[in-house]
Copies of this chain bind each other. A is one copy, B any other.
Amino acid sequence: MPAATSIGGDGRRWWWRLHVTVMATCLATRACSGATTLHYKWVVENIFWSPDGQQNMVMAINGGFPGPNITARVGDTIEVELSNNLNTEGVVIHWHGIRQFATPWSDGTASVSQCVINPGQTFPYNFKVDKAGTYFYHGHYGMQREAGLYGSLIVEEGDEGQKEPFQYDGEFSLLLSDWWHQTVYQQEVGLSSDPFQWINEPQSLLINGRGQYNCSLASRYNSSAALPECSLGGGEQWAPNVLKVLPNKTYRLRIASTTSLASLNLAIGDHNVTVVEADGNYVQPFSTTDVDIYSGETYSVLFTTNQNPYENYWISVGVRGRLPQTPQALALVNYLPNHASKFPVSPPPVTPQWDDYNRSKAFSNKIQGLEGTTPPPPADYDRRIMLLNTQNTIDGLTVWAINNVSLSFPPTPYLGALKYGIKAAFDQTPPPDTFPDWYDIMSPPANPNATTGNAIYTLDFNSTVDVVLQNANTLQPNDSEIHPWHMHGHNFWVLGYGDGKFQRGDEEAFEKTGRRPPLKNTAVIFPFGWTALRFVADNPGAWPFHCHIEPHLHMGMGVVIAEGVDLLGDVPKETLSCGLTGMMFSSGNGEKEGHN
């Protein structure tokens, strides 16, 4: 079986492996940061691949799946020349967790930061990574993330500045995803159909793009197993990840979830783990048997290989928060010099009960900021925005809405429209800052009708903003779902989670807990609950803030915020070649000199 570090490279066409690292010249010894520019040429296209043993169409980069790993250091510049080799689809790539200070046009969000890259065209992403942590990248147009367009992005601390507040002997990266056999094109049609057709549960869970369908690696632990044991040579695209470790060492496991739908839980058989990082921010370490991870989140955990060194151990990843219909994904911790084919004595860890939300909340509340590495939140806020999350109907279609508005992305990206004052590009009436006091979050909406909209929340630059994400009952009685909300361009402090309807005064309870709010870029709202966030609007640009469940965003579950766009210089013209920004350059109606 291949080592984890080679995952994703198998089958990639060699001539696409261009990866030029240009060392910056150190002008003065003291000033030399060692920062480099990492330059990549990537080509996106659909290919056939077997993520779980069944060949399907996958949206790939440079002929492989998942996309190439990027490992950079703080201060590095990443340049990705992204070429679109799809047949009829546009594409963009979002660098999830990278704040894009001063480069909001490189955020890679269709309709927000740029026009999509059309087939045959190339777009230069260019941005600096200024914060160590575990990140990833993914498509941010339609449901191209679910189609397979994602990969790992890791930023290590540089020679200078902050040091990691923990030590380890080696590390592994596990990028988690969920996988369907139906194409996303068909799923998108189902979501926009009357009657509504839900995407249903995934066929498989993938670890670094590898899963098993129609067979199980763990059937021998269960004499009544429904699935036959997998027969593997090790070279298969769907062969499991093998983490080769030495006994009595400490390893860092970087975990990122780019799932389209599933909330996950990860555990290592017979090993506890210590959580040390969340969403690119160090957290107060705590030991746990397992880690909940929602779509859009990343964690680093440490584990020590202090178990029987003559055995191997399973890593299991299972579904939480929805009634699971998908088998666990498995990877192997292979204590060297054991052979990887040595079957673990212990079965894979059992995933906690999917609807044990108290357990989930307890885990989320354990995540606290680490003193000395992350600042505490400002003591007060300048503006509070209440965002009610509801499921609604519009013209017979099922949607999600925020304060009764279902987000519909406009053809002209917000960033260019804001920068050049193209007011016709989107609705200029701001969306509501709150919802009616009388709204009953414990029942299906009394009036299920919502409206579509594309207005944005304009924030005062450098102001402190609180957002309370308020969950509610869906269209079905006694039903409320998990929604992990992800904010682009910012980290926020998670002030707290609560049950029921947020009441003024609940914020006073935050401080009483003595809990140090962690910085994150993604935070979950639990069923029938609320989550309170605080952030500083300090990043000039336009930024989506949305449920990271891809079909939910597709159904309108998001908002767009903007701040300080007037502080930006020119927006690169490559981001403006569509919609009303595309038209704004054409006043010469074609009679300009050609470029030869």
Q: In the complex, what distance in Å separates the CA atom of A265 from the CA atom of B573?
A: 52
**Contact of A589 (CB < 8 Å), options: B91, B116, B573, B595:** B573
A590 touching B576 in the complex, CB below 8 Å, given contacts A189-B47, A424-B595: yes
Asked whether A183 is an interface residue with its Cβ less than 8 Å from the other chain, the reply is yes
Report A109-121 CB contacts with B as 1/0, cut-off 8 Å: 0010001101111
Across the interface, do B571 and A590 meet the contact criterion of CB distance under 8 Å? Answer: yes
Most B-side CB within 10 Å, residue of A192, A411, A576, A582: A582
Q: Please give me the residue from chain B that is nearest to A189 by CB atom.
A: B46
The reply on A4 being an interface residue by CB < 8 A is no
**Knowing A183-B185, A596-B422 touch, does A120 contact B46 (C-beta < 8 A)?**
no
Please measure, in the bound complex, the distance between the C-alpha atom of A46 and the C-alpha atom of B190, giving whole angstroms.
10
**Candidates B88, B411, B590; contact of A419 at CB < 8 Å:** B590
Assess whether B90 is in contact with A578, with CB atoms less than 8 Å apart: no
Query: Is A342 close to B, CB under 8 A?
Result: no
Q: With an 8 A cutoff between CB atoms, is A587 at the interface?
A: yes
Point out the residue from B423, B583, B595 that lies within 8 Å of A573, measured CB to CB: B583
Q: How far apart are the CA atoms of A323 and B142 in the complex, in Å?
A: 39
Asked if residues B592 and A573 are in contact (CB atoms below 8 Å), the reply is: no
Question: Are A423 and B118 CB-contacts (below 8 A) given A189-B57, A570-B589?
Answer: no
Task: Please give me the residue from chain B that is nearest to A582 by CB atom.
Answer: B577
Q: Mark interface residues in A60-78 (1 if CB within 8 Å of B CB, else 0).
A: 0000000000000000000
Per-position binary interface string of chain A over residues 264-287, scored 1 when its CB falls under 8 Å from any chain B CB and 0 otherwise? 000000000000000000000000
Which residues of chain A in 565-595 are interfacial with respect to chain B, using CB atoms and an 8 Å cutoff?
A: 570-573, 576-580, 582-595
**Which of A46, A88, A118, A570 lies at the interface centre, i.e. has the most chain B CB atoms within 10 A of its CB?**
A88
Chain A 478-518, CB-CB to B under 8 Å as 1, else 0, gives: 00000000000000000000000000000000000000000
The CA-CA distance from A46 to B422 in the complex, in Å, is 30
In this complex, what residue of B is CB-closest to A119?
Answer: B411
Interface of A is mostly: loop
Instruction: Place the interface of chain A in its size category.
Output: 35 or more
A118, B92: Cα distance in complex, Å: 14
Cβ–Cβ < 8 Å partners of A593 in chain B: 420-421
For window 183-211 of chain A, which residues contact chain B by CB distance below 8 Å?
Answer: 183, 185-186, 188-190, 192-193, 197
Determine how close the nearest CB of chain B comes to the CB of A72; give it in whole angstroms.
29
Cα separation A584 to B193 with both chains bound (whole Å): 40
Task: From B143, B571, B592, give the contact of A87 (CB < 8 A).
Answer: B143
* Per-position 1/0 for A29-45, Cβ under 8 A of B: 00000000000000001
Is there a chain B Cβ closer than 8 Å to A89's Cβ? yes
Q: Within the complex, which residue of B89, B571, B573, B578 is in contact with A121, where a contact is CB–CB below 8 Å?
A: B578
Q: How many copies does the complex hold?
A: 2
Output the nearest chain B residue to A591 by Cβ-Cβ distance. Answer: B570
Chain A, residues 172-187, CB within 8 Å of chain B (1/0): the string is 0000000000010110
What B residues does A577 contact at CB under 8 A?
577-578, 582-583, 586
Q: Decide yes or no whether A136 CB sits under 8 A from chain B.
A: no
| Nearest CB of B to A555, in Å | 12
Q: How far is the CA of A47 from the CA of B193 in the complex (A)?
A: 7
Asked whether B90 lies within 8 Å of A579 as measured between CB atoms, the reply is no
B582/A595 in contact, CB under 8 A: no
Q: Assuming the A-B contacts A46-B189, A190-B48, A420-B590, are A595 and B570 also in contact, with contact meaning beta carbons closer than 8 angstroms in the complex?
A: no
Residues on B with beta carbons closer than 8 Å to the beta carbon of A87:
142-143, 185, 188, 554
The reply on A144 being an interface residue by CB < 8 A is yes
Q: What is the 8 Å Cβ interface bit string for chain A, positions 226-264, against chain B (1 contact, 0 not)?
A: 000000000000000000000000000000000000000
Kindly state the separation between the CA atoms of A115 and B47 in the bound complex, as whole angstroms.
25
A594 & B88 in contact (Cβ 8 Å cutoff): no
When the two chains form their complex, are residues B570 and A576 in contact, meaning their CB atoms are under 8 A apart?
A: no
State the Cβ distance, A228 to closest chain B Cβ, in Å.
Answer: 27
Given A46-B185, A90-B118, A90-B119, output 17 extra A-B contacts at Cβ < 8 Å: A45-B192, A46-B188, A48-B189, A57-B185, A87-B142, A87-B143, A118-B118, A120-B411, A183-B183, A183-B186, A420-B593, A422-B594, A573-B589, A576-B586, A576-B590, A585-B586, A585-B592
**Which residues does A use to contact B, with CB under 8 Å?**
45-48, 57, 87-91, 111, 115-116, 118-121, 141-144, 183, 185-186, 188-190, 192-193, 197, 409-411, 416, 419-424, 554, 570-573, 576-580, 582-596
Interchain residue pairs with CB less than 8 A apart (25): A48-B190, A57-B185, A57-B186, A87-B143, A88-B89, A88-B90, A88-B91, A88-B141, A88-B144, A116-B118, A120-B411, A420-B590, A420-B592, A422-B594, A422-B596, A570-B590, A570-B591, A571-B590, A573-B583, A577-B577, A577-B578, A577-B586, A580-B595, A583-B595, A584-B592
